């Protein structure tokens, strides 16, 4: 049976892992390669490196961080943050990424999704959607949550899928860093609307939050950052919890 | 020396890293003639079956001739699919044909959503119909990382079978020719073990 994936997110700035709340107020959480090695030992299924300030500061994710993390793990590695062109994606993949995650650039130029899917296959192209509850729906934000686009998250996920995305990384801005639980309504709305896997992100605080997002939220994978970084929750304990709830995981 | 065939389909970085981790000596030949002196060949690859078009008649002839003189061959993901006769993903484009049958799409759910999303992405379990060289030492239901939309049929040479809506060949093996649909280079210790099994045998 296909397992639900637990993904650790390394939000990286200037080569260091940082973590904020509602996309703001970043604090230092350590060295990306060291954290990746620890998660690997602890049974993480996948790692995502997001250069959280890359787009704002107009620079691409640092190749040496990708390389240093890739050296530590024999697991799928996704890289996002400032992937704007085919050349940016190629540089990330060259450095050791298996997948790239597109956000702002895909909103501005959706044909980038198709071009990258044609070159690397859909499995290598994740479209990241940052959504916020607004006007009675889930609206999409660009540029690390700073630009309101007025696009509907479900509609954008459908379009991205049609253009060749292989997975959707769906982050709730309302829940990001709050540890109040994933937005299961948002996750289910998107997961039920697209035929590709949806990774839920934003709000992980307890083991229960994960079992909720895999059941009520119908997520295919769940991503968390801070609860793993500060050693508050271990990946293996989380997986035993999920198995006790009859949720398929890799142990 | 192992030849890692670079035909532009996807990322060789992680395959190189995994081969180094298990102590393999490998090179990336630029011309098919170089395969003459190789003891083993790895055909990696992710993405569309169309990408295998680059493996033209010269490469095919060189790989076939190497296998015929006893060189080992290992296909990964698209590289394994290419060992079959072809794929619905690129009709009219022949595979190497070492295994019978053609690759088919993992039929998506009827309404576009549901339990069987396509692509099949993530960790799924292996079932071993019998003993094989490449899967030696692995427990039934060992989990490995998949990411694909097309699958090869179950054949008498299937060394591992996985179920995702349908049953398909997760690994095939006959003599010194083997292939895996999953990514051993992305499957943690289990994946490295499979690569090491193959390396030790060849």
Residue B113 has pLDDT above 50, yes or no: no
Q: What is the mean pLDDT of chain B?
A: 92
pLDDT of residue A27: 64
Residue A170 has pLDDT above 80, yes or no: yes
What whole-number distance in Å separates Cα of residue A22 and Cα of residue A11?
Answer: 13
% of chain B at pLDDT higher than 70: 95
pLDDT of residue B46: 77
The interface pTM score, or ipTM, of the predicted complex is 0.90
The answer to whether the beta carbons of residues B179 and B70 sit under 8 Å apart is no
pLDDT bracket for residue B163 (50, 70, 90) = very high
Any CB–CB contact under 8 A between A39 and chain B?
A: no
What is the b/e burial string over B75-93, where b = at least 16 CB atoms within 10 angstroms of the residue's CB? bbbbbbbbbbbbbebbeee
Number of structural domains chain A divides into:
1
pLDDT of residue B126: 98
Residue A251 lies in a domain: no
Of residues A228 and A189, more confidently modeled: A189
The domain spans of chain B are 2-201
Name chain A contacts of B145, Cβ cutoff 8 Å. Answer: 45, 75-76
Model pLDDT for residues B55-76, shown as the tens digit of each residue: 888 999 999 999 999 999 999 9
Take residue A71 and report the two structure tokens written for it. Answer: 């050296």
Name chain A contacts of B108, Cβ cutoff 8 Å. Answer: 195
Residue B4 has pLDDT above 60, yes or no: yes
Fold type of domain B2-201: Rossmann fold (3.40.50)
Query: Residue A90 sits in which domain range?
Result: 5-244
- Minimum CA–CA partner of B191 in chain A: A74
Model pLDDT for residues A51-103, shown as the tens digit of each residue: 866 555 545 557 889 999 999 999 999 999 889 999 889 888 888 899 999 99
pLDDT bracket for residue A239 (50, 70, 90) = very high
What whole-number distance in Å separates Cα of residue A6 and Cα of residue A214?
Answer: 11
What is the b/e burial string over A90-116, where b = at least 16 CB atoms within 10 angstroms of the residue's CB? bbbbebbbbbbbbbbbbbeebebbebb
DSSP string across chain B: -EEE---SSS--HHHHHHHHHTT--EE--SSGGGGGG-SEEEE---S-GGGGGGS-HHHHHHHHHHHHTT-EEEEETHHHHTTSSEETTSTT-B---SSSSEEEE-PPPTTS-SS--SSEEEEEE-B-SS--STTTTPPTT-EEEEEESEEPPP-TTEEEEEEESEEEEEEEEETTEEEESS-GGGSHHHHHHHHHHHHHH-
Highest mean pLDDT among A115-119, A153-157, B105-109: A153-157
Of A1, A195, A220, the CB nearest to B108: A195
Take residue A218 and report the two structure tokens written for it. Answer: 């119908």
Pairing mode, strands A24-30 and A16-21? antiparallel
Average pLDDT over residues A147-154: 92
Residue A250 lies in a domain: no
pLDDT bracket for residue A118 (50, 70, 90) = confident
Q: Which domain CATH number covers A198?
A: 3.20.20.70
Of A3, A97, A98, the CB nearest to B122: A3
Of B14, B46, B164, the CB nearest to A123: B46
pLDDT of residue B180: 98
Strands of the sheet with B26-27, listed across from one edge: B26-27, B2-4, B40-43, B72-76, B177-180, B166-174, B158-164
Take residue A125 and report the two structure tokens written for it. Answer: 């192209």
Inter-chain contact B47–A2, Cβ cutoff 8 Å? no
Any CB–CB contact under 8 A between A194 and chain B?
A: yes
pLDDT bracket for residue A220 (50, 70, 90) = very high
pLDDT bracket for residue A246 (50, 70, 90) = very high
Inter-chain contact A75–B46, Cβ cutoff 8 Å? no
- For helices B188-201 and B13-21, the axis angle rounded to 10 degrees is 70
pLDDT of residue A121: 84
């Amino acid at each position: 049976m296909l397992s639900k994936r637990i993904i650790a997110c390394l939000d990286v700035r200037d080569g260091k892992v940082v973590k904020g709340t509602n996309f703001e107020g970043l604090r230092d959480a350590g060295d990306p390669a060291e954290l990746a090695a620890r998660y690997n030992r602890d049974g993480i299924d996948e790692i995502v490196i997001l250069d959280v300030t890359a787009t704002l500061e107009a620079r691409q994710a640092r190749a040496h961080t990708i390389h240093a993390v890739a050296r530590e793990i024999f697991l799928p590695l996704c890289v996002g943050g400032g992937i704007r062109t085919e050349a940016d994606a190629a540089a990330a993949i060259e450095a050791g990424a298996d997948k790239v995650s597109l956000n702002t650039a895909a909103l501005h130029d959706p044909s980038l999704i198709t071009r990258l899917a044609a070159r690397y296959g859909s499995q290598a192209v994740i479209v990241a959607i940052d959504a916020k509850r607004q006007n009675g729906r889930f609206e999409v934000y660009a540029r690390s949550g700073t630009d309101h686009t007025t696009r509907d998250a479900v509609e954008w996920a459908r379009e991205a899928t049609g253009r060749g995305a292989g997975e959707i990384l769906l982050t709730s801005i309302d829940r990001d860093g709050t540890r109040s639980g994933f937005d299961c309504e948002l996750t289910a709305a998107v997961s039920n609307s697209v035929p590709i896997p949806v990774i839920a992100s934003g709000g992980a605080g307890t083991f229960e939050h994960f079992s909720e997002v895999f059941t009520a939220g119908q997520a295919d994978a769940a991503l968390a950052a801070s609860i793993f970084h500060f050693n508050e929750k271990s990946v293996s304990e989380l997986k035993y919890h999920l198995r006790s709830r009859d949720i398929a995981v890799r142990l | 020396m192992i030849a890692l065939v670079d035909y532009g389909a996807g990322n060789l970085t992680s395959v190189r890293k995994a081969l180094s981790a298990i102590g393999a000596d490998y090179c990336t030949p630029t011309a098919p003639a170089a395969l003459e002196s190789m003891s083993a060949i790895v055909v990696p690859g992710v993405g569309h079956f169309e990408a295998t078009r680059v493996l033209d008649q010269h490469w095919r002839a060189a790989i076939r001739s190497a296998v015929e003189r006893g060189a080992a061959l290992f296909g990964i993901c698209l590289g394994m699919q290419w060992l079959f006769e072809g794929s619905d993903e690129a009709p009219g484009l022949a595979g190497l044909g070492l295994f019978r049958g053609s690759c088919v799409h993992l039929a998506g759910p009827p309404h576009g959503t549901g339990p069987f999303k396509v692509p099949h992405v993530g960790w799924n379990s292996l079932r071993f119909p019998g003993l094989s060289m490449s899967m030696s030492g692995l427990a039934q239901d060992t989990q490995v990382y998949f990411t694909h939309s097309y699958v090869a049929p179950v054949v008498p040479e299937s060394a591992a079978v996985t179920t995702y809506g349908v049953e398909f060949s997760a690994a095939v093996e006959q003599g010194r020719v083997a292939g895996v649909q999953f990514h051993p280079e992305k499957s943690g210790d289990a994946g490295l073990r499979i690569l090491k099994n193959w390396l030790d045998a060849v």
